[in-house]
Structure 1
Amino acid sequence: MTINTFAVPESVKIGCGILYPRLREFIRPTDRVMLIVDKIVDELYGRNVYTFLEGHCREVKREFVHAGSLREAFLKSYYIVNRDFDAVIAMGGGKVLDVGKYASSMSKRPFISIPTSISHDGVASPIAVLKCDHNSVRSLDCKIPSYIIMDLDIIKTAPDRLILAGLGDLISNITALRDWEKAVHAGKAKMDDFAYIISGTAVRAILQYTKPDIKNTAFLTQLAESVVLSGLAMNITGNTRPSSGAEHLISHAIDATGKGTLHGIQTAMASILVEYLYGGNYCFIRNYLKSVGIPTTFAEIGLTYEDYAQVMRTARTTRKNRYTILDEIPYDDAYLKKIYDAVYGGIDDRQ
């Protein structure tokens, strides 16, 4: 018998007004820490956090993220090791958190993650998405955060579209799990039942809110808990299978057109199409997304029919060795038009 072992955060705190009490709990007065932010978050919250840390620990070094690049993460990890810092704190959106996550993982230091929005399910994942040379983007393995502080008073102030993107990314677990099962049956992937259950539970918990309000504390709490669970499911498997299938490949292909929007918005919209390909209740997903104001068509995110056709033909090539339903459908003009008409009601945005 093989027993799968995996790491979990030492602490995950979700609530209102919890930032400073939890920082006081997690950081010792003798600690030397690096605080990683970007310019926008620094103006909104970072300066106050920096001042707090100056008064609470032995030394604090504030570093900024500009591009969300692998180079930035390397340089910060070098500084952390060279100056023998005790911990890394990153506060911001996905770009900042991923740089902090990877820098702390390389330097083998505890990482405190403080999301200022819930724009995707990478909050607790073992993946850092970083820019590399020639504008390429890579998903790199790393350790999950040691501590996660999700202060809902801060998250509520984030732009609505960032919260909607996090919700959309979570909703796309529905089709990602279908693709995972398909890949297993095709001998292209291995199933982890525990991770499968966790990912499914995370999205079902959100779907219980039939009238979701992204500013409601109870709903935001559940959304925060669900994105953490989704990230943990990826940590259990050591890959993104529990939350990434054909809908994510379509999102990557949309990005390649240069017309992309937020990742979670794209994966949610694409999950409608993928659910249709599976013969599932795609209208349910579409109606749920509409109820919260998430775009449900290519046209709504600024893509033409020609863009759609290009995206569909290139999506399966955007990630090697990721077997999905896109590997089993034809790509002739007639079939792509059939999908488009069925999912989007025959709306033709070519005019």
Structure 2
Amino acid sequence: MRSQAIAIPRLIESRYDALSDLPRSLKAHGFKRILFLVGAGIEELFEQKMQPLLSDETLEVVGPIVLEELAVEKLTPIAYGFDEMDVILAMGGGKAIDSGKFVSFLRAVPFISIPTSISNDGFASSGASLYVNGKRKSVKALMPYGVIADLSILSTAPERFYYSGLGDVVSKITANYDWQFEVNHGIGQVDQYALLTAKKSVNSVVRLPFSYIREGLFIKEVVDSLIMSGISMEVAGHSAPASGSEHLISHAMDSIVPGKYLHGVQVGIATYIMALVQEHRVERVRTFLTDTGFFAHAKSLSISKKIVKRAIQAAPNVKPNRYTTIHLAENPKKAIELLTTDAILNDILAE
């Protein structure tokens, strides 16, 4: 029987005012010397929330160091510019978290993620998207040792980040289908524990009764879902449990209109398209994206059908080593036809 070592978070706090206990948590895990990185624009929030940490004389805190750029060339000097540290913390959005994971990877010290928004599962995964020689690339980083999700912060994040996170959550439905689809066509194998974790991550949210997406319980379930998604990829050793044809369409959109729309919003729209193509859990996806207000938000962005069409056409070439449902010869055409024949897509996408 083959065994494998996997890195999963050992410290997970997902509740209101979680940061108030940060000094105690750090000391309980044996961390004394701390390098603190923060995303640009949240310095005031850092000062407000980190006073218990900064005033604890038993801890040695270096920082905060404000992260201005995502370039590997800028992050490397930060990684090696300080004496030995026990742990590196990063507070902010996806850019700050990805930067922190990479700096921790370079220094080979534990990393603790403190997200200020939940726009995707990056705050709980080992991957990082950074600029290398001016080009955005996925680079190796460190799986977080800990995730501190303070709901009092996340509940006040701009709504667009919520919708992005919801799009990333629901995408596991089509991604899981694609993973099994690949295996059925003789490519790779499914790690059943990783698949179970990924399925639980999405079902815990899409089956949850709610009346408002800023409800405490709903936010907590979304956070926990994204953490489980990150863990499922770590268990599998690749991104298939959380990324399928819907992500390929989103990646293609990134190359067409770089940075114009949030990743999770693109993924959410593509998930609905691919659920229709797969004929898999369509009603569940449709109901969730309607009831949460995701579709209404997507409509407000006036995303062009032409852009989505181009992204669908380009998607199979984004990762030619994979074989998802969008790689099947007839499916890009089916997906494109849906842009005008499906009532919801026809409504939310601009001409």
State the TM-score, normalizing by the size of structure 2: 0.90
Residues in 2 aligned to 1:202 and 1:126: alpha-carbon distance in whole angstroms:
17
The residue identity in structure 1 corresponding to 2:346 is I
Q: Deviations over 1:113-142 (max 9, x none)?
A: 1111111112221111112223x2222232
Aligned partners of 1:311 and 1:46: how far apart in 2?
Answer: 42
Q: Corresponding residue for 1:305?
A: 305
SS at match of 1:172: helix
Residue 255 (1) aligns with residue 279 (2): no
Partners of 2:330 and 2:93 lie apart in 1 by: 38
The residue that corresponds to 2:113 in the other structure is: 113
| Alpha-carbon shift at residue 7 of structure 1 (Å) | 1.7
Who is 2:103 aligned against?
103
Aligned to 2:64: 62
Offset of 1:286 from its aligned partner?
2.2
Q: d(CA) in 2 for partners of 1:20 and 1:203? A: 29
Matched letter for residue 79 of structure 2:
S
Higher mean C-alpha deviation, range 13-22 or range 66-75: 66-75
Which range is displaced more, 142-151 or 25-34?
25-34
The Cα RMSD (Å) is 2.5
User: CA offsets, 1:57-103, max 9 Å, x none?
Assistant: 234222121222222332222124xx222221100111101100111
For 1:72, the aligned partner's letter is K
Q: CA deviation at 1:270?
A: 0.5
Shift of 1:206: 0.4
SS at match of 2:190: coil
Distance 1:298 1:316 in 2: 24
Counterpart among 71, 75, 78 of residue 76 in structure 1: 78
| Further displaced range: 284-293 or 43-52 | 43-52
Deviations 1:154-173 (A, max 9, x none): 11111111122112101100
Q: Secondary structure at the match of 1:40?
A: coil
Change (3 A) 1:346 1:119: closer
Structure 1 position 256, deviation (Å):
1.6
Query: Is 2:20 the partner of 1:32?
Result: no
Shift of 1:273: 0.7
Q: Distance in 1 between matches of 2:152 and 2:332?
A: 50
Shift of 1:342: 3.4
Alpha carbons 2:127, 2:140 under 8 Å: kept: yes
Q: Which runs of 5+ in 2 are unaligned?
A: none
TM-score w.r.t. length of structure 1:
0.90
Letter in 1 for 2:73: R
C-alpha deviation, 1:220, in angstroms: 1.3
Q: More deviation in 203-212 or 178-187? A: 203-212
- Alignment-mate amino acid for residue 93 of structure 1: G
Q: Distance in 2 between matches of 1:30 and 1:208?
A: 38
Q: Deviations over 1:34-71 (max 9, x none)?
A: 11112311122246527732544234222121222222
Conservation of the 8 A alpha-carbon contact between 1:265 and 1:295: no
* Alpha-carbon distance in 1 for matches of 2:69, 2:287: 36
Q: Which moved more, 1:340-349 or 1:92-101?
A: 340-349
1: distance between equivalents of 2:159 and 2:297? 19
Work out the CA distance in 2 between the residues paired with 1:52 and 1:11: 17
Contact 1:46 1:91 in 2 (8 A): no
The equivalences for 1:328-347 within 5 A come to: 328-330=328-330, 335=334, 337-344=336-343, 347=346
Aligned residue-pair number: 347
Contact 1:54–1:60 (CA<8 Å) still a contact in 2?
no
Contact 1:160 1:214 in 2 (8 A): no
Using the alignment, how far apart are the partners of 2:238 and 2:190 within structure 1? 11
Per the alignment, residue 149 of structure 1 pairs with 148
Aligned residue in 2 for 1:315: 315
